[in-house]
C-alpha cells in the first residue's frame, strides 16, 4: 500500500468558518508534510512532522494549525482564512527526514475560501 489518503477532496468555506483537512498513510512513514500549491506553480512547503513532532514551520500564518495525532495521521486545522488561501493542499509522507527524500503525495484537497 503506497497510498496517502486525503479528505475531503474538495472544500468550500467562508472566512469565518473552522474546518480541518485530514491525511492518512499506512506505509510506516515517520515524516509527514503539508504543502500548498497554487495553479500551475510548484508545491510550497508549509510544515514537516518528524516522528510526530513538528520539525519545520515555514513561517505559516497561525490561521493554519497542524496536528499529528499519531504516526499515521496528519491534520491541518483552518480558521479565519482569506480568499488568497484558496489552493490545492497536499499531504505527503516519506520514510523519514533522513534518506533520499522520496515523498509520496496524496491527491490533495482543493480548498476555496469565499
Task: Give least dist CB 90 to another protein, A.
Answer: 5
Other Cβ atoms less than 10 A from the Cβ of 16: the count is: 8
Site for another protein in 58-97 (CB under 8 A): 88, 90, 92, 94, 97
CA dihedral 48, 66, 45, 100 (to 10 degrees): 20
Q: Is 105 in the site for another protein (CB under 8 A)?
A: yes
Q: Least distance from C-beta 13 to another protein, angstroms? A: 19
How many CB atoms are closer than 10 A to CB 101? 10
- What phi and psi, each to the nearest 5 degrees, are found at residue 83? -55, -30
Nearer to another protein, 17 or 107 (CB): 107
Amino acid at each position: 500500500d503506497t497510498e496517502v489518503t486525503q479528505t475531503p477532496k474538495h472544500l468550500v468555506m467562508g472566512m469565518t468558518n473552522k474546518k480541518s483537512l485530514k491525511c492518512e498513510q499506512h506505509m510506516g512513514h515517520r515524516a509527514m508534510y503539508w504543502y500548498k500549491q497554487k495553479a500551475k506553480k510548484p508545491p510550497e512547503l508549509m510544515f514537516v512532522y518528524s516522528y510526530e513532532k513538528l520539525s519545520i514551520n515555514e513561517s505559516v500564518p497561525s490561521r493554519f494549525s497542524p496536528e499529528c495525532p499519531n504516526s499515521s495521521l496528519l491534520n491541518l486545522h483552518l480558521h479565519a482564512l482569506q480568499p488568497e488561501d484558496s489552493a490545492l493542499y497536499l499531504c505527503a509522507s516519506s520514510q523519514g527526514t533522513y534518506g533520499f527524500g522520496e515523498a509520496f503525495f496524496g491527491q490533495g484537497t482543493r480548498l476555496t475560501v469565499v
